[in-house]
Amino acid sequence: MLTLDQFHSQLAAGTLAGARHIKLSDQLAEFPPALFALAESLEILDLSGNRLSTLPDDLPRFKKLRILFASGNPFTELPAVLGQMPELEMVGFKACNIAHVPEQSLPPRLRWLILTDNRLESVPEAIGQCTRLQKLMLSCNRLATLPIELAQCRALELLRIASNRFMTLPEVIFQLPQLAWLAFAGNPLTQKRELDALHAHGSETISYQNLLIGEKLGEGASGHIYGASHGGQPLALKVFKAAHTSDGTPQSELAAGLAAGSHANLLTPLGPVTQLPQQQLAMALPLLAPEMQALAQPPSFDSCTRDVYADDQRFASTAATGLLQGVRNAVAHLHGSGVLHGDLYAHNILWNPGTGQAVLSDFGAAALMQDLPQTQVVQLQQIELRALRHLEAEVQARIA
């Protein structure tokens, strides 16, 4: 990350010649014209955390720009100029003040659109022209409908519409032939069940003051994980980074995890943790053995919707069989409990390579289905089984 002074200094010194990736954060209120010195090379530009509300009309001079992040800026609409960017594939405007997405603002090569935590009440019909779109993240807005044109996005694999204003699930969702990962919790259609789940476990809260906090064990998109103990019993503490995540809210995550209940192949929460400093949100989880490790890494910019495995990663046949059976058992338990995981990915599976023992974790995208029509429940389960088939294919392709 560079300040504006650092950027100018390095640009003058020639050290940024041919730069492909720039991250610039310095409370900028205007787009720095000096960035155009990199117009012929820049592929990734991150302007998150500034005070920008517009982008220049000549932004298409960045002919190679593939990825643009501008989260945490006070934009009130998605800049229309983005639709003129010839190579732009990934657009991230999370936690701005965006209330409007102009029809002409969507780039023709768009694969990944992040508009989480804004003020959107509608999505433009032009979204149907984004036939390469694979990932669409719209959680924490004010949406009550989706355009029927979304059905034309036949490559769409991941959709996040949690914490909006949906009274019912849009039928267009079930017309997406590749959809495998769906988050829709925290909407009116699920909120009663979520409140019931939280109320049923309301007496099982753990006070932060009674925890002995240990070292940081890891970090995900939504929170930090620490080792801890309570009354001499070891556990893991997940402290959420914000009240809104890309998948929804911590309250919905906790409700789904509690509703799922205990299972040998699931990492479900022990309960909420209260009285944290700065009113942070947290939950307690079982502490897994140190030999348990993530099966893969989350998707990269290039892979978009698919997890990243090490080039030399291979699985012993017996361990792979145990791994996949454990995941199937977890999914069957969730579906039998009326829970959709929503994020059935290898990076959310912790396993022991020596034994094949596997645990499915992270309920950040999970949703309760009990109040939905049975026909939709079956359709949602089929969407999740598509994700399971992707996982099975990834593992089977790497059996030694």
Closest by CA to 164, choosing from 135, 144, 136, is: 144
Task: Determine phi and psi for 361, rounding to 5 degrees.
Answer: -120, 180
Tell me which fold the domain 293-396 belongs to. Transferase(Phosphotransferase); domain 1 (1.10.510)
- Residue 280 dihedral angles phi and psi, to the nearest 5°: -70, 155
Question: What is the dihedral sign for C-alpha 241, 242, 248, 253?
Answer: positive
Query: Closest Cα partner for 398 from 282, 283, 308, 277?
Result: 308
The sheet with strand 358-360 has its strands ordered as 293-294, 349-351, 358-360
Distance CA 175, CA 111 (A): 18
Domain coordinates in residue numbering, the chain: 4-187, 192-285, 293-396
Report the distance separating Cα 314 and Cα 297, nearest Å. 15
**Strands lying side by side in the sheet with 206-207:** 206-207, 271-274, 282-285, 233-240, 223-230, 211-219
- Specify the pLDDT at position 203: 59
CA 271 to chain centroid: 22
Give the model's pLDDT for residue 373. Answer: 97
Minimal CA–CA distance to 77: which of 96, 95, 90, 92? 96
Q: Which fold has domain 4-187?
A: 3.80.10
The reported pTM is: 0.95
What is the pLDDT, as a whole number, of residue 176? 98
The C-alpha atoms of residue 352 and residue 66 are separated, in whole angstroms, by: 37
Long-range contacts of 257-262 (CB under 8 A, 24+ apart): 257/283, 257/363, 257/366, 258/197, 258/198, 258/200, 258/201, 259/193, 259/197, 259/337, 259/338, 259/339, 259/368, 260/333, 260/334, 260/337, 260/339, 260/363, 260/366, 261/333, 261/337
Q: Return the pLDDT at 202.
A: 65
Looking at residue 151, its pLDDT comes to 98
Take residue 35 and report the two structure tokens written for it.
Answer: 């960035």
Q: 192-285 maps to which CATH number?
A: 3.30.200.20
- Give CA 398 to chain center in angstroms: 25
Q: Which residues contact 338 (CB under 8 A, 6 or more apart)?
A: 259, 368, 369, 370, 377
Determine phi and psi for 351, rounding to 5 degrees: -150, 165
For residue 378, count other CB atoms closer than 10 A to its CB.
12
Task: Supply the pLDDT for residue 276.
Answer: 87
For position 225, what pLDDT does the model report? 93
The distance from CA 129 to its chain's CA centroid, rounded to whole angstroms, is 23
Full pLDDT tens readout for the chain, 400 residues: 999 999 999 999 999 999 999 999 999 999 999 999 999 999 999 999 999 999 999 999 999 999 999 999 999 999 999 999 999 999 999 999 999 999 999 999 999 999 999 999 999 999 999 999 999 999 999 999 999 999 999 999 999 999 999 999 999 999 999 999 999 999 999 999 999 998 887 657 889 999 999 999 888 778 899 999 998 899 999 999 888 888 889 999 999 999 999 999 999 999 899 888 888 889 999 999 999 999 999 999 999 999 999 999 999 999 999 999 999 999 999 999 999 999 999 999 999 999 999 999 999 999 999 999 999 999 999 999 999 999 999 999 999 8
Report pLDDT for 30. Answer: 97
